[in-house]
Amino acid sequence: QNILETINVKKRLEKVLVLLQKELEVVSVQRKIQNQINEKIYKQQRDYFLREQLKIIKQELGLDDDRSNEIQQMKSKIETLNLKGEPKEKIQDELNRLYYIESNTPEYIIARTYLDTVLSLPWNTYTEDCLDITRAEKILKKSHYGLDDVKERILEFLSVRMLKPDSGGSILCLVGPPGVGKTSLGQAIADSLKRTFFRVSLGGIRDEAEIKGHRRTYIGAMPGKIIQGLKICKSKNPVFMLDEIDKLYQSYQGDPAASLLEVLDYEQNHSFRDHYIDMPFDLSKVLFITTANTTDTIPDVLLDRMEVIRIPGYIAEEKYKIAKHFLLPKQLKKHGLPKNSIELDRNAFFYIINGWAREAGVRNLDRQLERLCRKKAKSIVKKDDSFPHHLDEESIRSLLGPEYYTGDTIPDKLKPGIAIGLAWTSTGGSVLLVEALSTPAQGSSTLTLTGNIGDVMKESATIAYNYIKNYFSDDTQATDFFTKNTIHIHVPAGAIPKDGPSAGITMASALYSLVKHIPVTKRIAMTGELTLSGRVLPVGGIKEKLIAAKREQCNTVIIPLENKKEMGDIPSHITRGLSLYFVAHVNEVFDIVFK
């Protein structure tokens, strides 16, 4: 309309020219798109035509393609495996489906990967067990020093397995601090039976799919750790170690501990169904062994399916023998050194243990011996004769540097208000100092608690405080002391969280010492829960606590009377040299501590 209304011919032509240019641009774009479509169609047609030609040529020459070879190999493998029931039907259906999928498509790769995984599982492959209990006993004795009660229980477990291989039985759960040999015990059990050993670490796992696999609908899906382990072992009856089972965590992705219920229950695991393979697989022949540092974080339903064997920490004497007969020869061999290239006498070993390796296990001790061997290897390569053949304390200090632990963790002279307790953690037993201090009250007297302690320990402190106040209710001087002073109880090492009721009698002793201004007799350690009536209740971890007391040279230990029945299970070398007092009431503690 605008063009028609324009009278001037020149201007009318200019407007027409603008419109024509726009139309030309549209036509150019359309032509470009059409050319691209034609090229793509032509390429697809050309590829299809060439592929069909290739098929015909191969058929004429009597040659089969790779896909047919793969499918034929899979068919042969199915017959070899002698599968039955659902697995055979499912694999056969998947193989038939694979035949009709083009080999250059993602679906073909997914289906082929699935079949490769399923067919590589040990459906009917077993390793023959070695039913020789004497050999098993020798292997355990050679690989681990001490732990006689643990070895005895393992030998009993293996004996039942040897007499009745198809027995379900319980699953062993080895519980103990780091570095005491839990994982290596599992390897020794596998060596005893001549079975394949496989270890999987469960520490930090939050996703259920890590145990039971991902469904094939997900991109990059794969089986869970159980099926993957069996695929690697190539045996249906390996020794399968589930390490750090106490460090599983629940998240929005599911509860891995709950998914282990089916794995560890012999009533169910004969038809374990991984999400990826989506067919039953028999796990009843697998010998499962689990390890943990503590049972506190293991769900009760899971713990109920396992038999707990506690492995305590080592005292200095045991560490010395382990280092001399096991660790040092191992490190010398590992570093290519002659057997007698490093000589350490008893005092030198104890110097390393007390200065660098006071923990419950022997991992750090092994690490220090490894450092010495590395330095010896370096001196040999450099032809440096300054490295001493016989190492004494001075040469060890120059090689390893300053000691990690200097002096004694317990003061030589305890002041009034300080008592020695015993604690038990996932890393083993340890001594626990409790300090009590009084300051003039600003108004009403109060009780202050510090040291990063938990709710249960705070309640224990309150009970001890109120019991001592009531204990001295007839003592005018003591009553005035509580009225005019604020009491502060502190548990050192404030960066470390602490909790539990076992420090009850220790806190009561510290308060008694503070009120009467009488120091606690040195080297008396104690453990026990305190009630408001003064009763001393039993606590856990007695063996670990006694080891800690012996390690710190606390030769007198006070224990609840109800824990006396456990002493029969504690090896004599741990209690040797210790004076043990069993108490039922806290007043008995005061008689021992302040006599």
Query: Does residue 388 belong to any structural domain of this protein?
Result: yes
- Residues 381, 441, single domain; the answer is no
Q: What is the pLDDT of residue 197?
A: 93
- Residues 533, 434, single domain; the answer is yes
Report yes or no: 129 and 193 within 8 Å, Cβ to Cβ: yes
Q: How far apart are CA 488 and CA 341, in angstroms?
A: 55
pLDDT (tens digit, 9 = 90+) per residue, 12-38? 788 888 888 888 888 888 899 988 888
- Residues 456, 395, single domain; the answer is no
The one-letter amino acid at 338: P
- Residues 202, 84, single domain; the answer is no
Beta bridge partners of 489: 436, 449
pLDDT (tens digit, 9 = 90+) per residue, 318-368? 888 999 988 999 999 999 988 888 888 889 998 898 888 888 888 899 999
- Residues 105, 52, single domain; the answer is no
Last residue of a domain, one of 45, 61, 77: 61
Cβ neighbours for 499, distance < 8 A, ≥ 6 positions apart: 453, 454, 455, 456, 457
Query: Does residue 450 belong to any structural domain of this protein?
Result: yes
Q: What is the pLDDT of residue 1?
A: 65
- Residues 142, 241, single domain; the answer is yes
Q: Would you say the pTM of this structure is higher than 0.95?
A: no
Task: Please report the DSSP string for 126-164 in residue order.
Answer: -PPP---HHHHHHHHHHH-SS-HHHHHHHHHHHHHHHH-
Last residue of a domain, one of 310, 333, 354: 310
- Mean pLDDT for 490-503 is 84
Query: Does residue 511 belong to any structural domain of this protein?
Result: yes
Q: How far apart are CA 90 and CA 347, in angstroms?
A: 67
Query: Does residue 236 belong to any structural domain of this protein?
Result: yes
- Mean pLDDT for 239-245 is 91
- Mean pLDDT for 444-458 is 87
Phi-psi bin for 57: left (phi > 0), alpha (psi -120 to 50), beta? alpha
Alpha helices in 444-497 (DSSP H): 455-471, 476-484
Query: Does residue 572 belong to any structural domain of this protein?
Result: yes
Of residues 151, 69, 83, the one with CA closest to residue 123: 83
Look at 163 and 26; give whichever has higher pLDDT.
Answer: 26
Report yes or no: 151 and 217 within 8 Å, Cβ to Cβ: no
- 3-class secondary structure, 229: helix
Beta bridge partners of 436: 489
Token digits for 389?
Answer: 């053949």
* 46, containing H or E segment: helix 9-61
Is the pLDDT at 411 greater than 70, yes or no? Answer: yes
Query: Does residue 322 belong to any structural domain of this protein?
Result: yes
Per-residue pLDDT band for 66 (boundaries 50, 70, 90) equals low
Token digits for 371?
Answer: 């450092």
Residues tagged active-site: 502, 545
Sheet holding 524-526, edge to edge: 447-450, 485-490, 428-440, 418-425, 524-526, 556-560, 579-583
Per-residue pLDDT band for 62 (boundaries 50, 70, 90) equals low
Using CB atoms within 10 A of its CB, is residue 131 exposed (0-12), middle (13-18) or buried (19+)? middle
Beta strand pairing status for 239-243 and 197-201? parallel
Domain count, the chain: 5
- Mean pLDDT for 414-424 is 90
Phi-psi bin for 359: left (phi > 0), alpha (psi -120 to 50), beta? beta
- Residues 321, 389, single domain; the answer is yes
- Mean pLDDT for 75-80 is 82
Q: What is the pLDDT of residue 331?
A: 92
- Residues 516, 573, single domain; the answer is yes
Using CB atoms within 10 A of its CB, is residue 190 exposed (0-12), middle (13-18) or buried (19+)? buried
Q: How far apart are CA 239 and CA 235, in angstroms?
A: 10
Query: Does residue 411 belong to any structural domain of this protein?
Result: no
* 451, containing H or E segment: none
- Residues 251, 159, single domain; the answer is yes
Query: Does residue 306 belong to any structural domain of this protein?
Result: yes
Q: What is the pLDDT of residue 168?
A: 59
pLDDT (tens digit, 9 = 90+) per residue, 122-144? 988 888 888 888 888 888 888 88
pLDDT (tens digit, 9 = 90+) per residue, 501-534? 899 999 999 999 999 999 988 789 999 999 999 9
- Residues 353, 372, single domain; the answer is yes
Is the pLDDT at 406 greater than 90, yes or no? Answer: no
- Residues 215, 351, single domain; the answer is no
Query: Which residue segment(s) compose the domain that 43 sits in?
Result: 2-61
Which CATH number is 390's domain given? 1.10.8.60
Beta bridge partners of 5: none
- Residues 394, 430, single domain; the answer is no
Last residue of a domain, one of 400, 431, 451: 400
- Mean pLDDT for 43-50 is 84
Per-residue pLDDT band for 63 (boundaries 50, 70, 90) equals low
Q: What is the pLDDT of residue 462?
A: 94
Which CATH number is 248's domain given? 3.40.50.300
Q: What average pLDDT is seen over the chain?
A: 86
246-269 burial, b for 16+ CB within 10 Å, e for fewer?
bbbeeeeebbbbebbbbbbbbeeb
Q: How far apart are CA 587 and CA 595, in angstroms?
A: 12
Three-state secondary structure of 374-437: HHHHHHHHCCCCCCCCEECHHHHHHHHCCCCCCCCCCCCCCCCCEEEEEEEECCEEEEEEEEEE
Q: What is the pLDDT of residue 526?
A: 94
pLDDT (tens digit, 9 = 90+) per residue, 528-586? 999 999 999 999 888 888 888 888 888 899 999 999 998 887 878 888 889 999 999 99
Token digits for 213?
Answer: 């696999």
Look at 400 and 495; give whichever has higher pLDDT.
Answer: 400
pLDDT (tens digit, 9 = 90+) per residue, 264-300? 887 888 888 899 988 999 888 888 999 998 888 888 8
Token digits for 283?
Answer: 């796990």
Q: What is the separation of C-alpha 381 from the centre of its chain, rounded to a whole number of angstroms?
A: 38
